[in-house]
Amino acid sequence: MKAAFITRTGPPEVIQFGELPDPVPGPTQCLIRVRAVDVNPIDVYWRAGMVPAPITFPFILGRDLAGVVAACGKEVRHFQPGDRVWCSNLGCGPRPGSFAELCAVDEDWLHPIPASVRDEDIVANALTGITAHLGLVGRAQLKAGETLFVNGGSGGVGSCVVQMGKILGARVITTAGSDAKVKLCRELGADLVLNYKTQNVDAAVREFAPQGVNVWWETLREPDFERVVPLLALRGRMVLMAGRDAKPVLPVGPFYVKDCSLHGFAMFNASAEEQRPAADAINQWMETGKLKARIDRVLPLSEATAAHRLQEESTVQKTGVLAGKIVLKP
Ligand SMILES: NC(=O)c1ccc[n+]([C@@H]2O[C@H](COP(=O)([O-])OP(=O)(O)OC[C@H]3O[C@@H](n4cnc5c(N)ncnc54)[C@H](OP(=O)(O)O)[C@@H]3O)[C@@H](O)[C@H]2O)c1
Protein backbone atom coordinates (compact mmCIF):
# COMPACT_ATOMS: atom_id res chain seq x y z
CA MET A 1 0.00 0.00 0.00
CA LYS A 2 0.98 3.65 -0.37
CA ALA A 3 1.51 5.53 2.91
CA ALA A 4 2.93 8.80 4.25
CA PHE A 5 5.51 7.92 6.89
CA ILE A 6 8.76 8.97 8.56
CA THR A 7 11.95 7.07 9.31
CA ARG A 8 13.28 9.85 11.58
CA THR A 9 11.80 12.96 13.20
CA GLY A 10 12.49 16.41 11.74
CA PRO A 11 11.05 19.11 9.44
CA PRO A 12 8.14 18.38 7.05
CA GLU A 13 10.64 17.20 4.43
CA VAL A 14 11.34 14.00 6.42
CA ILE A 15 7.90 12.74 5.34
CA GLN A 16 8.14 10.05 2.68
CA PHE A 17 5.28 8.93 0.45
CA GLY A 18 5.85 5.40 -0.77
CA GLU A 19 5.16 1.68 -0.45
CA LEU A 20 4.81 -0.14 2.87
CA PRO A 21 3.53 -3.69 3.46
CA ASP A 22 -0.28 -4.03 3.66
CA PRO A 23 -1.45 -4.45 7.28
CA VAL A 24 -2.97 -7.79 8.25
CA PRO A 25 -5.99 -7.42 10.57
CA GLY A 26 -5.91 -9.29 13.90
CA PRO A 27 -8.94 -11.24 15.22
CA THR A 28 -10.65 -8.15 16.70
CA GLN A 29 -9.61 -5.76 13.92
CA CYS A 30 -11.17 -4.48 10.72
CA LEU A 31 -9.09 -3.75 7.64
CA ILE A 32 -10.14 -0.30 6.45
CA ARG A 33 -9.74 1.05 2.92
CA VAL A 34 -9.00 4.66 3.81
CA ARG A 35 -10.90 7.38 1.93
CA ALA A 36 -10.00 10.49 3.92
CA VAL A 37 -7.64 11.56 6.71
CA ASP A 38 -6.95 14.98 8.24
CA VAL A 39 -4.03 16.85 9.77
CA ASN A 40 -3.93 17.81 13.45
CA PRO A 41 -1.29 19.85 15.30
CA ILE A 42 -0.34 16.69 17.25
CA ASP A 43 0.85 15.14 13.94
CA VAL A 44 3.25 18.05 13.57
CA TYR A 45 4.58 17.62 17.12
CA TRP A 46 5.22 13.86 16.59
CA ARG A 47 6.85 14.35 13.20
CA ALA A 48 9.03 17.16 14.55
CA GLY A 49 10.17 15.08 17.54
CA MET A 50 8.51 17.46 20.05
CA VAL A 51 6.71 14.62 21.90
CA PRO A 52 8.88 12.74 24.39
CA ALA A 53 7.49 9.31 23.50
CA PRO A 54 9.18 6.32 21.86
CA ILE A 55 8.48 5.93 18.12
CA THR A 56 8.92 2.76 16.10
CA PHE A 57 10.09 3.46 12.53
CA PRO A 58 8.84 3.46 9.84
CA PHE A 59 6.13 5.50 11.59
CA ILE A 60 2.91 6.15 9.65
CA LEU A 61 1.56 9.62 10.48
CA GLY A 62 -2.06 10.59 11.18
CA ARG A 63 -4.65 10.23 13.93
CA ASP A 64 -8.03 10.14 12.16
CA LEU A 65 -9.54 8.28 9.24
CA ALA A 66 -12.79 7.74 7.38
CA GLY A 67 -13.11 4.74 5.11
CA VAL A 68 -14.81 1.49 4.24
CA VAL A 69 -14.39 -1.90 5.95
CA ALA A 70 -12.62 -4.20 3.48
CA ALA A 71 -12.26 -7.29 5.72
CA CYS A 72 -12.94 -8.34 9.31
CA GLY A 73 -11.06 -10.48 11.82
CA LYS A 74 -12.84 -13.60 13.13
CA GLU A 75 -13.94 -12.01 16.42
CA VAL A 76 -15.29 -8.72 14.98
CA ARG A 77 -18.94 -8.38 16.05
CA HIS A 78 -20.23 -4.93 15.10
CA PHE A 79 -18.95 -4.31 11.57
CA GLN A 80 -18.91 -6.08 8.21
CA PRO A 81 -17.25 -5.50 4.84
CA GLY A 82 -18.78 -2.54 3.06
CA ASP A 83 -19.59 -0.55 6.24
CA ARG A 84 -18.47 3.09 6.25
CA VAL A 85 -16.51 3.85 9.44
CA TRP A 86 -14.44 6.58 11.11
CA CYS A 87 -12.05 6.70 14.02
CA SER A 88 -9.47 8.78 15.85
CA ASN A 89 -6.59 7.91 18.19
CA LEU A 90 -4.43 6.12 15.63
CA GLY A 91 -0.70 6.80 15.45
CA CYS A 92 -0.09 6.51 19.17
CA GLY A 93 0.70 3.66 21.54
CA PRO A 94 0.76 0.41 19.58
CA ARG A 95 -1.52 1.74 16.81
CA PRO A 96 0.01 2.75 13.42
CA GLY A 97 -1.19 6.05 11.95
CA SER A 98 -3.93 6.66 9.39
CA PHE A 99 -1.99 8.23 6.48
CA ALA A 100 -2.17 5.11 4.29
CA GLU A 101 -4.37 3.39 1.74
CA LEU A 102 -5.11 0.60 4.25
CA CYS A 103 -5.28 0.53 8.02
CA ALA A 104 -6.05 -2.29 10.51
CA VAL A 105 -8.07 -0.91 13.44
CA ASP A 106 -9.49 -2.64 16.50
CA GLU A 107 -13.27 -2.49 16.25
CA ASP A 108 -13.50 -0.85 19.70
CA TRP A 109 -12.12 2.36 18.15
CA LEU A 110 -14.45 2.36 15.11
CA HIS A 111 -17.68 4.32 14.69
CA PRO A 112 -20.22 4.06 11.85
CA ILE A 113 -20.54 7.04 9.49
CA PRO A 114 -24.15 8.27 9.12
CA ALA A 115 -25.31 7.79 5.51
CA SER A 116 -25.81 11.52 4.89
CA VAL A 117 -22.36 12.56 6.20
CA ARG A 118 -19.36 12.83 3.84
CA ASP A 119 -16.03 11.14 4.63
CA GLU A 120 -14.12 14.44 4.54
CA ASP A 121 -16.56 16.12 6.95
CA ILE A 122 -16.59 13.39 9.59
CA VAL A 123 -12.81 13.02 9.51
CA ALA A 124 -12.37 16.78 9.92
CA ASN A 125 -14.41 16.62 13.14
CA ALA A 126 -12.88 13.39 14.50
CA LEU A 127 -10.07 14.25 16.94
CA THR A 128 -11.23 17.85 17.34
CA GLY A 129 -14.87 16.89 17.94
CA ILE A 130 -14.00 14.18 20.47
CA THR A 131 -11.72 16.67 22.26
CA ALA A 132 -14.46 19.31 22.37
CA HIS A 133 -17.02 16.85 23.74
CA LEU A 134 -14.69 15.35 26.36
CA GLY A 135 -13.79 18.83 27.60
CA LEU A 136 -17.22 20.49 27.57
CA VAL A 137 -19.34 17.58 28.78
CA GLY A 138 -16.92 15.42 30.77
CA ARG A 139 -14.57 17.99 32.29
CA ALA A 140 -16.24 21.42 32.44
CA GLN A 141 -19.81 20.04 32.67
CA LEU A 142 -21.17 23.01 30.73
CA LYS A 143 -24.83 23.72 31.49
CA ALA A 144 -27.52 25.39 29.38
CA GLY A 145 -27.65 29.12 30.05
CA GLU A 146 -24.00 29.38 31.12
CA THR A 147 -21.48 31.62 29.37
CA LEU A 148 -18.70 29.87 27.49
CA PHE A 149 -15.62 31.74 26.23
CA VAL A 150 -13.57 30.01 23.51
CA ASN A 151 -10.13 31.52 22.95
CA GLY A 152 -9.51 30.64 19.29
CA GLY A 153 -12.95 29.81 17.84
CA SER A 154 -11.70 29.68 14.25
CA GLY A 155 -9.34 26.74 14.92
CA GLY A 156 -9.88 23.02 14.57
CA VAL A 157 -10.78 22.42 18.22
CA GLY A 158 -12.26 25.87 18.80
CA SER A 159 -14.76 25.61 15.94
CA CYS A 160 -16.10 22.35 17.43
CA VAL A 161 -16.20 23.82 20.95
CA VAL A 162 -18.18 26.86 19.72
CA GLN A 163 -20.74 24.71 17.91
CA MET A 164 -21.10 22.20 20.75
CA GLY A 165 -21.41 25.05 23.25
CA LYS A 166 -24.42 26.33 21.29
CA ILE A 167 -25.90 22.83 20.94
CA LEU A 168 -25.61 22.44 24.73
CA GLY A 169 -27.48 25.72 25.23
CA ALA A 170 -24.68 28.06 26.33
CA ARG A 171 -24.12 31.73 25.47
CA VAL A 172 -20.90 31.59 23.46
CA ILE A 173 -18.21 34.25 23.12
CA THR A 174 -15.21 33.56 20.91
CA THR A 175 -12.23 35.23 19.25
CA ALA A 176 -10.66 35.14 15.78
CA GLY A 177 -7.67 36.82 14.15
CA SER A 178 -9.20 38.39 11.03
CA ASP A 179 -12.53 39.84 9.90
CA ALA A 180 -13.03 36.90 7.54
CA LYS A 181 -12.56 34.45 10.43
CA VAL A 182 -14.84 36.56 12.65
CA LYS A 183 -17.52 36.04 10.00
CA LEU A 184 -16.86 32.28 9.93
CA CYS A 185 -17.22 32.10 13.74
CA ARG A 186 -20.56 33.94 13.53
CA GLU A 187 -21.69 31.33 11.01
CA LEU A 188 -20.80 28.65 13.59
CA GLY A 189 -23.42 30.24 15.84
CA ALA A 190 -21.32 32.17 18.38
CA ASP A 191 -23.30 34.95 20.08
CA LEU A 192 -20.36 37.35 20.32
CA VAL A 193 -17.25 37.14 18.11
CA LEU A 194 -14.29 39.44 18.75
CA ASN A 195 -11.25 40.13 16.57
CA TYR A 196 -8.42 39.61 19.06
CA LYS A 197 -6.07 41.70 16.93
CA THR A 198 -8.20 44.83 16.70
CA GLN A 199 -10.69 44.78 19.60
CA ASN A 200 -10.49 45.07 23.39
CA VAL A 201 -11.58 41.48 24.07
CA ASP A 202 -11.57 41.67 27.88
CA ALA A 203 -13.73 44.81 27.99
CA ALA A 204 -16.23 43.25 25.59
CA VAL A 205 -16.35 40.04 27.66
CA ARG A 206 -17.04 42.05 30.85
CA GLU A 207 -19.85 43.90 29.10
CA PHE A 208 -21.41 40.70 27.66
CA ALA A 209 -21.04 38.67 30.88
CA PRO A 210 -20.95 41.06 33.88
CA GLN A 211 -21.13 38.09 36.29
CA GLY A 212 -18.11 36.50 34.57
CA VAL A 213 -17.46 33.55 32.29
CA ASN A 214 -18.61 30.14 33.57
CA VAL A 215 -16.34 28.09 31.29
CA TRP A 216 -13.17 29.42 29.64
CA TRP A 217 -11.81 27.11 26.92
CA GLU A 218 -8.18 27.92 26.18
CA THR A 219 -6.76 26.61 22.88
CA LEU A 220 -3.54 28.63 23.02
CA ARG A 221 -0.28 27.03 24.11
CA GLU A 222 0.48 29.98 26.43
CA PRO A 223 -2.44 30.26 28.89
CA ASP A 224 -2.50 33.57 30.77
CA PHE A 225 -4.08 33.01 34.21
CA GLU A 226 -3.47 36.61 35.29
CA ARG A 227 -5.78 37.64 32.50
CA VAL A 228 -8.33 34.82 32.73
CA VAL A 229 -8.93 34.47 36.50
CA PRO A 230 -10.45 37.98 36.92
CA LEU A 231 -12.82 37.22 34.01
CA LEU A 232 -14.11 33.94 35.53
CA ALA A 233 -17.47 33.78 37.31
CA LEU A 234 -18.02 32.27 40.76
CA ARG A 235 -17.31 28.51 40.32
CA GLY A 236 -15.80 29.24 36.90
CA ARG A 237 -14.02 26.38 35.15
CA MET A 238 -11.03 26.75 32.86
CA VAL A 239 -10.21 24.03 30.33
CA LEU A 240 -6.51 23.59 29.55
CA MET A 241 -5.49 21.33 26.69
CA ALA A 242 -2.39 22.78 25.04
CA GLY A 243 1.05 24.13 25.97
CA ARG A 244 3.38 21.31 27.01
CA ASP A 245 6.14 23.76 27.99
CA ALA A 246 3.94 26.56 29.41
CA LYS A 247 4.66 27.74 32.97
CA PRO A 248 2.26 30.63 33.55
CA VAL A 249 1.84 32.41 36.90
CA LEU A 250 -1.39 31.47 38.74
CA PRO A 251 -2.91 34.21 40.95
CA VAL A 252 -4.03 31.80 43.69
CA GLY A 253 -6.02 34.22 45.88
CA PRO A 254 -8.49 35.48 43.26
CA PHE A 255 -8.75 31.91 41.93
CA TYR A 256 -9.72 29.98 45.06
CA VAL A 257 -11.93 32.60 46.67
CA LYS A 258 -14.22 32.24 43.62
CA ASP A 259 -14.24 28.40 43.90
CA CYS A 260 -12.67 28.19 40.43
CA SER A 261 -11.21 24.99 38.99
CA LEU A 262 -8.75 24.00 36.27
CA HIS A 263 -9.49 21.04 34.01
CA GLY A 264 -6.48 19.81 32.07
CA PHE A 265 -6.80 16.80 29.79
CA ALA A 266 -5.38 15.09 26.72
CA MET A 267 -7.94 13.27 24.60
CA PHE A 268 -5.53 10.43 23.86
CA ASN A 269 -5.72 9.35 27.52
CA ALA A 270 -9.43 8.55 27.13
CA SER A 271 -10.14 4.88 26.41
CA ALA A 272 -12.24 3.75 23.45
CA GLU A 273 -15.14 3.25 25.87
CA GLU A 274 -14.73 6.77 27.30
CA GLN A 275 -14.62 8.27 23.79
CA ARG A 276 -17.70 6.47 22.47
CA PRO A 277 -20.34 8.88 23.92
CA ALA A 278 -18.45 11.74 22.24
CA ALA A 279 -18.39 9.88 18.91
CA ASP A 280 -22.09 9.03 19.19
CA ALA A 281 -22.94 12.69 19.84
CA ILE A 282 -20.78 13.81 16.88
CA ASN A 283 -22.59 11.34 14.62
CA GLN A 284 -26.01 12.46 15.79
CA TRP A 285 -25.23 16.19 15.56
CA MET A 286 -23.59 15.88 12.13
CA GLU A 287 -26.46 13.77 10.79
CA THR A 288 -28.96 16.41 11.91
CA GLY A 289 -26.83 19.26 10.54
CA LYS A 290 -26.23 20.84 13.95
CA LEU A 291 -22.47 20.22 13.86
CA LYS A 292 -20.63 21.20 10.69
CA ALA A 293 -17.09 20.58 9.53
CA ARG A 294 -14.76 23.44 8.69
CA ILE A 295 -12.43 22.36 5.88
CA ASP A 296 -9.77 24.74 4.54
CA ARG A 297 -8.64 22.47 1.69
CA VAL A 298 -8.60 18.90 0.41
CA LEU A 299 -5.29 17.56 -0.95
CA PRO A 300 -4.05 14.17 -2.20
CA LEU A 301 -2.22 12.12 0.48
CA SER A 302 0.92 12.39 -1.65
CA GLU A 303 0.94 16.10 -0.59
CA ALA A 304 1.40 15.19 3.10
CA THR A 305 4.65 17.17 3.32
CA ALA A 306 2.97 20.36 2.07
CA ALA A 307 0.04 19.74 4.40
CA HIS A 308 2.36 19.42 7.43
CA ARG A 309 4.21 22.57 6.43
CA LEU A 310 0.93 24.51 6.30
CA GLN A 311 -0.30 23.12 9.64
CA GLU A 312 3.01 23.95 11.32
CA GLU A 313 3.02 27.49 9.94
CA SER A 314 -0.58 28.05 11.00
CA THR A 315 -0.55 26.56 14.53
CA VAL A 316 3.08 26.71 15.71
CA GLN A 317 4.27 29.84 13.89
CA LYS A 318 0.78 31.33 14.35
CA THR A 319 0.42 32.71 10.82
CA GLY A 320 -3.26 31.70 10.89
CA VAL A 321 -2.92 30.69 7.24
CA LEU A 322 -5.52 27.96 7.72
CA ALA A 323 -9.24 28.59 8.25
CA GLY A 324 -10.33 25.00 8.88
CA LYS A 325 -8.89 21.52 8.59
CA ILE A 326 -6.67 20.06 5.90
CA VAL A 327 -8.17 16.81 4.60
CA LEU A 328 -6.03 14.38 2.61
CA LYS A 329 -7.27 11.67 0.27
CA PRO A 330 -5.27 8.52 -0.53
N1 LIG B 1 -5.33 18.10 24.85
C2 LIG B 1 -5.87 17.56 23.78
O3 LIG B 1 -6.47 16.49 23.85
C4 LIG B 1 -5.78 18.27 22.46
C5 LIG B 1 -6.60 17.87 21.40
C6 LIG B 1 -6.54 18.60 20.21
C7 LIG B 1 -5.66 19.68 20.08
N8 LIG B 1 -4.86 20.00 21.14
C9 LIG B 1 -3.95 21.17 21.05
O10 LIG B 1 -4.77 22.34 21.06
C11 LIG B 1 -4.15 23.37 20.29
C12 LIG B 1 -5.16 23.91 19.28
O13 LIG B 1 -5.43 22.90 18.32
P14 LIG B 1 -6.24 23.27 17.00
O15 LIG B 1 -6.31 22.03 16.18
O16 LIG B 1 -7.50 23.96 17.33
O17 LIG B 1 -5.23 24.33 16.32
P18 LIG B 1 -5.53 25.41 15.20
O19 LIG B 1 -6.56 24.88 14.28
O20 LIG B 1 -4.22 25.81 14.64
O21 LIG B 1 -6.17 26.66 15.99
C22 LIG B 1 -5.39 27.59 16.68
C23 LIG B 1 -6.29 28.75 17.07
O24 LIG B 1 -5.55 29.69 17.86
C25 LIG B 1 -6.01 30.98 17.50
N26 LIG B 1 -5.07 31.98 17.95
C27 LIG B 1 -3.77 32.15 17.58
N28 LIG B 1 -3.23 33.20 18.26
C29 LIG B 1 -4.22 33.68 19.05
C30 LIG B 1 -4.28 34.76 20.00
N31 LIG B 1 -3.22 35.53 20.27
N32 LIG B 1 -5.45 34.96 20.66
C33 LIG B 1 -6.53 34.18 20.43
N34 LIG B 1 -6.53 33.14 19.54
C35 LIG B 1 -5.38 32.91 18.87
C36 LIG B 1 -6.18 30.89 16.01
O37 LIG B 1 -7.00 31.96 15.58
P38 LIG B 1 -6.84 32.68 14.11
O39 LIG B 1 -6.42 31.63 13.13
O40 LIG B 1 -8.23 33.21 13.87
O41 LIG B 1 -5.82 33.75 14.28
C42 LIG B 1 -6.85 29.53 15.89
O43 LIG B 1 -8.24 29.66 16.08
C44 LIG B 1 -2.90 22.75 19.66
O45 LIG B 1 -1.77 23.11 20.42
C46 LIG B 1 -3.17 21.26 19.76
O47 LIG B 1 -2.00 20.49 19.80
C48 LIG B 1 -4.91 19.34 22.32
Would you write out the chain's pLDDT as a tens digit for each of its 330 residues? Answer: 999 999 999 999 999 999 999 999 999 999 999 999 999 999 999 999 998 888 999 999 999 999 999 999 999 999 999 999 999 999 987 789 999 999 999 999 999 999 999 999 999 999 999 999 999 999 999 999 999 999 999 999 999 999 999 999 999 999 999 999 999 999 999 999 999 999 999 999 999 999 999 999 999 999 999 999 999 999 999 999 999 999 999 999 999 999 999 999 999 999 999 999 999 999 999 999 999 999 999 999 999 999 999 999 999 999 999 999 999 999
Residue ID of nearest Cα to ligand 1 atom 5 = 131
Between CA 148 and CA 216 the distance in angstroms is 6
Residue 34 in contact with residue 62, Cβ under 8 Å?
no
**Which spans in 21-97 are helix H?**
41-48
CA proximity to 241, closest of 215, 218, 268: 218
Residue ID of nearest Cα to ligand 1 atom 35 = 152
Q: What is the mean pLDDT of the chain?
A: 97
Between CA 35 and CA 129 the distance in angstroms is 19
Q: What is the pLDDT of residues 43-80, one digit of tens each?
A: 999 999 998 888 999 999 999 999 999 999 999 999 99
Residues whose beta carbon lies within 6 Å of some atom of ligand 1:
40-42, 127-128, 131, 151-152, 154-158, 175-177, 181, 196, 219-221, 241-242, 265-267, 314-315, 318, 320
The alpha carbon of 241 and the centre of ligand 1 are apart by a number of angstroms equal to 10
CA proximity to 151, closest of 207, 223, 209, 200: 223
The long-range contacts involving 179-186, CB below 8 angstroms and separated by at least 24 positions, are 180/323, 181/154, 181/320, 181/323, 184/154, 184/159, 184/294, 184/323, 185/153, 185/154, 185/159
149 beta partners: 173, 216
Residue ID of nearest Cα to ligand 1 atom 36 = 152
